[in-house]
Structure 1
């Protein structure tokens, strides 16, 4: 295992091809979007591993949606992760605990409305044959920071650690220009009542008074850490007072989740790179609000999908993954009309917004296997969020590449 300061990454993922190998092979991303019947269902992946369709050594990360509540006590995330690492340990020469430190499994709970439980397996493989000249394709990188002290959760120091981890993940993906990034998924640790009590007993700073407040601050730190790494904000703008207050500071490509099941910061970056080949492409757009169907349509248009009321069934076969971040507008209004998400004591606001935005995106895509995560503090414009889509290039583009 190699270390990048406070960063961990699997050695087999960090090695680059030799000059001789580059002449006869190139790296290519593969994405498998798999459904699950329950939070511990890994039948689809187990089948693909058993048949050799997926090589365990090629799995870089897993990002998925479970039918849990998405809160502090959402144990579906840890359950799925445990099952995944146990499965991978049957194929990799390592324990489940060690694999969990190098293969991020980032899960978001909550499949409200029409959303469907699923997970995307992100792979990197060597492919024979020369890569098409001047081609850029989907690039994937992933790293994990060292376990972070609980007194850092949701602080400036947390943001700086995320920024360094993002840079390491970019290097892992071979992405040098932040402009080529389209989606940065971070899973950050959060505090629990027990962890808060431990900090107080030790006389250490307590960054947040409750577990829920800690999750929000951790998401803010993660988002501003991404923005720092990409140059969307500068070091001088980074201060604890800005967290959850100055929403002029944000990243247009960050997607942050927080949970009790991780002790480190897990980072997965998705972008475009000329060092990669293959048919997969990625695009993203910032969403101005929960009704921004224009941004949703535009991101599909960027990937060559024809404009229409809904993507056709035939065209949907090109879709490999859809990622969305969203947030209930804290002003209490959307397009001038009052919403009640923030004041509903029966249903958490994040569950409201996941169902609403999930329905919007599903209506355009015609697909319900969408990663929709709430809690978009500093992730996209205030009251909005972002959407990123991975899809195969249109047949015309692929044909032109073959002819070339």
Structure 2
């Protein structure tokens, strides 16, 4: 049987491994069982946020220091930006045992985690259907890796995707290839959007046959209710972590999700907490977006017009504050930029719980 666990570790800086080391020494984290680390680092979350790569380097070196560590097979997904009250941290996901088809435990569905990655993508593929297709195939592999039986049991899909830099754009032009945009910041949105639509295609939320390149970052009627994508310059492929529940998994952890209709919809998380009030809330995973219409509940917002601070940073601060108030903990995972990740202006929110009995 597969058994998965989730441990939250505070970080004093992108390279701070003291919390991880203490958890390893205490026995709550076993380096040989870690399959992925999801982190919030304190950079700007934009194109030049090198705290993400810095954290990945530190994590790889940390796990390489243990003989049983398998850092070359782990997924390290860092989301930059801890605006407002968001607290920098790492969420460490471990998996022991293995999934066997047809295997079932005590009748309960427990947390199951699957990981996969795409091939390296060419610059001109970002933000287009080729990226959608590559992500869809990788998500399907991760679902299989987790032993999740149906799309309804998938409650969060985290993707780390590439972005365009000036060097990438120049390289594409040298091959007479045309990138989707020549604005490096906008490329983050295109890559996030195509990745999210890849999740939607894989889980049957969007029909691939009707999806066009021109729909990406334009047609907001198309979205996934469980996708979360974060773009960075530290990789060329898309790394995927699928969270869900499976009867072939055992252990006290499980996950559920809801959808925020806008940036101040804390009721979505409250519904999850109320639904599972008998159990312990372990971690919250959510997306944040400045509503592209420029309004929140019929009130104008200025996040999209601010030339000093990127709108993704505003959105993380707002949603982070709302959800931290609801759950009483600012050390939660909130990623900015919600293109095709939940309804326009809103986004998925998932919660991992630990059964108390």
Question: In 1, Cα distance between the equivalents of 2:258 and 2:28?
Answer: 32
Aligned to 2:189: 216
Is the CA contact 2:159–2:241 (under 8 Å) kept in the aligned structure 1?
yes
Of 296-305 and 57-66, deviating more is 296-305
Matched, 1:86 2:57: no
What residue in structure 1 maps to residue 241 of structure 2?
268
Structure 2 unpaired stretches of 5+:
none
Alignment counterpart, residue 94 of structure 2, candidates 123, 126, 130: 123
Deviation at 1:371, TM superposition (A): 0.7
2:33 paired with 1:58 = yes
Which of residues 357, 367, 370 is equivalent to 2:329?
367
Between the aligned partners of 1:150 and 1:132, the Cα distance in structure 2 is 45
Shift of 1:29: 0.9
Alignment match, 1:68: 43
Deviation at 1:236, TM superposition (A): 1.5
Per the TM alignment, residue 92 of structure 1 is displaced from its structure 2 partner at its CA by 4.8
**Residue aligning to 1:304:** 277
Structure-to-structure mapping, 1:3-42, within 5 angstroms: 26-42=1-17
* Structure 2 equivalent of residue 9 of structure 1: none
Paired with 2:121 and 2:127, the residues of 1 have a C-alpha distance of 11
- Alignment of 1:111 onto 2:79: no
Provide the rounded CA distance (Å) in 1 between the counterparts of 2:245 and 2:299: 39
Q: Secondary structure at the match of 1:351?
A: helix
Q: RMSD between aligned alpha carbons?
A: 1.8
TM-score by length of 1: 0.84
1:231 aligns with one of 184, 194, 204: 204
- Distance in 1 between residues matched to 2:231 and 2:293, nearest whole Å: 24
Matching residue of 1:3: none
Give distance in 1, aligned partners of 2:47 and 2:213: 22
1:319 is displaced (CA, Å) by 2.5
Higher Cα Rg, which structure: 1
Q: What is the match of residue 6 of structure 1?
A: none
Match of 2:311 among 349, 352, 357: 349
1:388 is aligned to 350
Which 10-residue stretch deviates more, 296-305 or 258-267?
Answer: 296-305
Offset at residue 57 of structure 1 (A) = 2.0
Report if the CA contact (8 A) 2:273-2:281 is conserved. Answer: no
> Any conservation in 2 of the 1:66–1:117 contact (CA below 8 Å)?
yes
Are 1:185 and 1:256, in contact at CA under 8 Å, matched by a contact in 2?
A: yes
> How far apart are 1:47 and its partner, in Å?
2.8
1:138-190 deviations in Å (ceiling 9; x for gaps): 11111122222222111100000000000010111001211100000000111
Q: Structure 1's 83 and 323: CA in aligned 2 closer, same or farther, altered over 3 A?
A: same
Q: Does 1:323 align with 2:298?
A: no
> Partner residue of 1:7?
none
Instruction: Report the Cα offset of residue 344 of structure 1.
Output: 1.1
Cα distance between partner residues in 2 of 1:92 and 1:140? 23
Select between 148-157 and 112-121 the one with higher mean Cα deviation: 148-157
CA distance in 2, matches of 1:287, 1:93: 40
Contact 1:283 1:302 in 2 (8 A): no
Could you tell me which residue of structure 1 aligns to residue 114 of structure 2?
Answer: 141
Instruction: State how far apart, in whole Å, the 1-side matches of 2:26 and 2:236 are.
Output: 34
Q: Which residue of 1 aligns with 2:340?
A: 378
C-alpha contact (below 8 Å) 2:32/2:70 kept by paired residues: no
Question: Could you tell me how far apart the structure 2 residues matched to 1:51 and 1:387 are?
Answer: 30
Q: Distance in 2 between matches of 1:280 and 1:200?
A: 48
Which deviates more, 26-35 or 248-257? 26-35
Residue 196 of structure 1, CA deviation: 0.2
**Distance in 1 separating the partners of 2:118 and 2:67:** 21
